[in-house]
Chains A and B, each alone.
Chain A
Amino acid sequence: MLAYIIRRIFQSVLVLLMVGLVAFSMFRFVGDPVDNMLGQERTQADIERLRDQLGLDQPFVVQYWRFLEQAAQGNFGLSYRQGRPVAEILVERLPATLELAFVSGILALVGGISLGIFTAIRRRGLSANVIMTGSLIGVSLPTFLIGILLIYLFAVELGWLPSFGRGEVTRIGSWTTGFLTESGLKSLILPAITLGLYQMTLIMRLVRTEMLEVLRMDYIRFARARGIREKSINFRHALKNTLVPVITITGLQLGSIIAFAIITETVFQWPGVGLLFINAIQFVDIPVMAAYLMMISVMFVGINLIVDMLYFAIDPRLRVDRTAGGH
């Protein structure tokens, strides 16, 4: 088990180094930041000074090494556009994205798993079929369209919910939260649904398929033959077996909620890292883009690692196979 974890961590580091190389390459090959940072009225001396200050006159390998060294310490340099440390900007923006991802993640998980179980158990029922048909909409409509439709309905026509921004936020240390004010909570609803809907329908369909598969297994039949209650068969015997394969996909989906909040944040002008990234692309603000890329890959790799650990927690067969291999 320990050897396995160490091997997985080693692999994760390798992945991060590769992403780091890609992120760093952007500095070399995408546009010239100096042009953007200095206005029309610049002198050659200004350009030279800034190049020197940003370290752009160093050789490739030296720059890559410095980049890694700095990145490992959470230092991604100055934003070309705002002239402030990138890490500072990210930390400022991160709470908005994390809160949004958290709410839509919970929505996707709770909604997806419970609807999945429901549609599996009542697979011939009318309501289950209505939900299944409805879920096709969630899977097939693009995120931005769902966002715009929701805005049109609830913000424009009904006027119940705000159409953009985070509303009023409360500052707790360096963390800003929208959970404590009414306008903050109201602002969360539409973006959270928009972001979570696709994941929810995906998880729901996955849980349903797996659950139907498991309900056909011999041990479910045997549990029935022993007179175990339906409730226990569904939620104790079947659900646990359903979750093993569901966890992989779900883990990755939750990762992508954070990563692909970009579209939702753009539609709702949500002041998170996704919107920051979009703006950074428009201004070729490479340090911000590189830092965002690194942050997302750290998250994905981390989530993958946690998912692998969860297997061990849920499936006893894996735990034993590892130790049995040692005999």
Chain B
Amino acid sequence: MTDTPVLSVRNLVVEIPTRHGVLRPVDNVSYDIQAGEILGVVGESGAGKSMTGNAVVGLLDSPARITSGEVLLSGQPIQNLRGEALRRLRGKKMGMIFQDPLTSLNPLLTIGDQLTETIQEHLKVGQTEAQERAIAALEEVGIPAARSRIDSYPHEFSGGMRQRVVIALALCAEPDLVIADEPTTALDVSVQAQIVALLKRLCRDRGVAVMLVTHDMGVIAEAADRVAVMYAGRLAELGPVREVITAAHHPYTAGLMASTPLASQGKERLRQIPGAMPRLGNLPDGCAFHPRCDYAQDSCRANPGPTLDTCDGRAACWFPLNIKEKSEVGA
């Protein structure tokens, strides 16, 4: 694809000033998302994956802020937009889906009210037209009998149905980019699969670019086209999802894959990555992953942390794994 990517994040840095120094929850992160593509962003809690999504839509909670880098939406820089200019983009150009559908909807307004308000905010349509579009949006995300349920309140829907409503809300003003922040985490497993399938379908049908933030490798494998693995605020690995899953280059990704339970795997003890992700204020010298890495060598501790640019562009690691197997996967 040679088109301008819908979202292009360039060397993004988010910093939080604290009394004990400046923290960097997002450190020099770059990636693109094309129209109709799903980029999975995966990592442990605190790896900076949600923070990246929030930074893109300008919803960082103070005092966190973007200190350098660029966020390009269809080629236009938006990282410095504030107030009214930013508000116009939200919903209209980029939608966001949050983790918990139970708390994402205003309990005292009907879903119809919340939909038509969003539609009328961004599209120049009358009340009747907005109502029709709201019903169409609900039908598109698979709410049965949408016409009769439009005046229902959020609590009258189940968790999965509410997440569908949330998706309808995020998409009702037809944005080009959707950032889904852990959209399946709070749902039952059976419902998770439905929501993932729905996201995939909407992405294909509408050509929306989707950034799918999750810690669930299963969801990534199911839905994403490409995957970005984050560790301690940095990109550890970025590549097509099949390749990353079958032949991870970064030891951290390999560790993540090994610690994903599979029903087919039988009852052996689940592998785990020893230790915990370092706290942001207390990052080790060199590669941030080296204290937990089975393959770490002296140079990992001594040299400054590797980035995708300083390495092969796929994994931020001095000693990437699976280099030989890579050709076998392609065959």
Seen from chain A, the residues whose Cβ lies within 8 Å of a Cβ on chain B are: 217-219, 221-230, 232, 236-237, 240-241, 244, 314-317, 320
Whether A316 lies near B155 (C-beta < 8 A) is: yes
Interchain residue pairs A-B with the least CB separation, the first 9: A227-B91, A227-B90, A225-B96, A218-B103, A226-B91, A219-B106, A316-B153, A222-B104, A240-B108
Interface contacts beyond A223-B106, A226-B118, A227-B89: sample of 16 additional A-B pairs, CB < 8 Å, sorted by A: A218-B104, A219-B103, A225-B96, A226-B90, A226-B96, A226-B173, A227-B88, A227-B118, A227-B173, A229-B87, A230-B87, A236-B109, A237-B106, A240-B108, A314-B108, A316-B108
| A225 to B173 Cα, complex, angstroms | 12
Whether A222 lies near B166 (C-beta < 8 A) is: yes
Whether A241 lies near B122 (C-beta < 8 A) is: no
| Chain B stretch 91-115: residues in CB contact (< 8 A) with chain A | 91-92, 95-96, 98, 100, 103-109, 114
Whether A228 lies near B156 (C-beta < 8 A) is: no
Whether B122 lies near A227 (C-beta < 8 A) is: yes
Q: Which residues of B contact A236 (CB under 8 A)?
A: 109, 117
**Interchain CB contact (< 8 A) of B170 among A218, A224, A226, A316:** A226
Which residue on chain A has the smallest CB distance to residue B99? A218
Whether B106 lies near A226 (C-beta < 8 A) is: no
| A327 to B323 Cα, complex, angstroms | 62
User: How many inter-chain residue pairs (CB < 8 Å) link A and B?
Assistant: 80
Which residue on chain A has the smallest CB distance to residue B122? A227
Known interface pairs A222-B96, A227-B90; A317-B153 also in contact (CB < 8 Å) = yes
Which residue on chain B has the smallest CB distance to residue A224? B59
Instruction: Name 6 interchain pairs, CB-CB below 8 A, sorted by A.
Output: A218-B104, A221-B98, A223-B114, A224-B59, A228-B118, A317-B155
| A184 to B89 Cα, complex, angstroms | 56
Which residue on chain B has the smallest CB distance to residue A220? B106
The yes or no answer to B247 lying at the interface (CB within 8 A) is no
| A229 to B83 Cα, complex, angstroms | 10
Seen from chain B, the residues whose Cβ lies within 8 Å of a Cβ on chain A are: 57, 59, 87-92, 95-96, 98, 100, 103-109, 114, 117-118, 121-122, 153, 155-156, 166, 169-170, 173
Q: Which residues of B contact A225 (CB under 8 A)?
A: 57, 59, 90-91, 95-96, 98, 170
Most buried by A among B57, B91, B92: B91
Distance in angstroms from B52 CB to nearest chain A CB is 15
**Interchain CB contact (< 8 A) of A219 among B90, B104, B170:** B104
Which residue on chain B has the smallest CB distance to residue A317? B155
| A69 to B59 Cα, complex, angstroms | 66
Distance in angstroms from A23 CB to nearest chain B CB is 41
Known interface pairs A226-B169, A228-B117; A320-B156 also in contact (CB < 8 Å) = yes
**Interchain CB contact (< 8 A) of B121 among A219, A227, A244, A320:** A227
| A143 to B300 Cα, complex, angstroms | 71
Known interface pairs A225-B59, A225-B91, A227-B90; A241-B108 also in contact (CB < 8 Å) = yes
Most buried by B among A219, A224, A226: A226
Which residue on chain A has the smallest CB distance to residue B92? A227
Q: Which residues of A contact B173 (CB under 8 A)?
A: 226-227
Q: Which residues of A contact B104 (CB under 8 A)?
A: 218-219, 222
| A3 to B153 Cα, complex, angstroms | 24
Most buried by A among B95, B106, B117: B106
Which residue on chain A has the smallest CB distance to residue B119? A226
Distance in angstroms from B54 CB to nearest chain A CB is 9
Whether B100 lies near A218 (C-beta < 8 A) is: yes
Q: Which residues of A contact B96 (CB under 8 A)?
A: 222, 225-226
Q: Which residues of B contact A218 (CB under 8 A)?
A: 98, 100, 103-104
Distance in angstroms from B108 CB to nearest chain A CB is 5
Q: Which residues of A contact B95 (CB under 8 A)?
A: 225-226
Which residue on chain B has the smallest CB distance to residue A241? B108
| A230 to B106 Cα, complex, angstroms | 15
Q: Which residues of B contact A227 (CB under 8 A)?
A: 87-92, 118, 121-122, 173
| A221 to B173 Cα, complex, angstroms | 17
Q: Which residues of A contact B169 (CB under 8 A)?
A: 222, 226
| A222 to B104 Cα, complex, angstroms | 6
**Interchain CB contact (< 8 A) of A237 among B100, B109, B122, B166:** B109
Which residue on chain B has the smallest CB distance to residue A239? B108
Q: Which residues of B contact A237 (CB under 8 A)?
A: 106, 109
Which residue on chain B has the smallest CB distance to residue A230? B87
Q: Which residues of B contact A240 (CB under 8 A)?
A: 108-109
Q: Which residues of A contact B155 (CB under 8 A)?
A: 316-317, 320
Whether B118 lies near A217 (C-beta < 8 A) is: no
Known interface pairs A320-B153, A320-B156; A228-B121 also in contact (CB < 8 Å) = yes
| A167 to B44 Cα, complex, angstroms | 73
Most buried by B among A227, A316, A320: A227
Whether B108 lies near A217 (C-beta < 8 A) is: no
Distance in angstroms from B167 CB to nearest chain A CB is 12
Distance in angstroms from A234 CB to nearest chain B CB is 13
Distance in angstroms from A121 CB to nearest chain B CB is 15
| A39 to B3 Cα, complex, angstroms | 106
Whether A222 lies near B90 (C-beta < 8 A) is: no
Distance in angstroms from B271 CB to nearest chain A CB is 34
**Interchain CB contact (< 8 A) of A317 among B59, B87, B88, B107:** B107
Distance in angstroms from A155 CB to nearest chain B CB is 46
Which residue on chain A has the smallest CB distance to residue B103? A218
| A236 to B120 Cα, complex, angstroms | 15
**Interchain CB contact (< 8 A) of A222 among B87, B89, B98, B117:** B98
Q: Which residues of A contact B91 (CB under 8 A)?
A: 225-228
Q: Which residues of A contact B89 (CB under 8 A)?
A: 227
| A240 to B106 Cα, complex, angstroms | 10
Known interface pairs A225-B57, A226-B118, A316-B153; A241-B107 also in contact (CB < 8 Å) = yes
Whether B103 lies near A217 (C-beta < 8 A) is: yes
Q: Which residues of B contact A241 (CB under 8 A)?
A: 106-108
Q: Which residues of A contact B114 (CB under 8 A)?
A: 223
Distance in angstroms from A326 CB to nearest chain B CB is 15
Q: Which residues of A contact B57 (CB under 8 A)?
A: 225
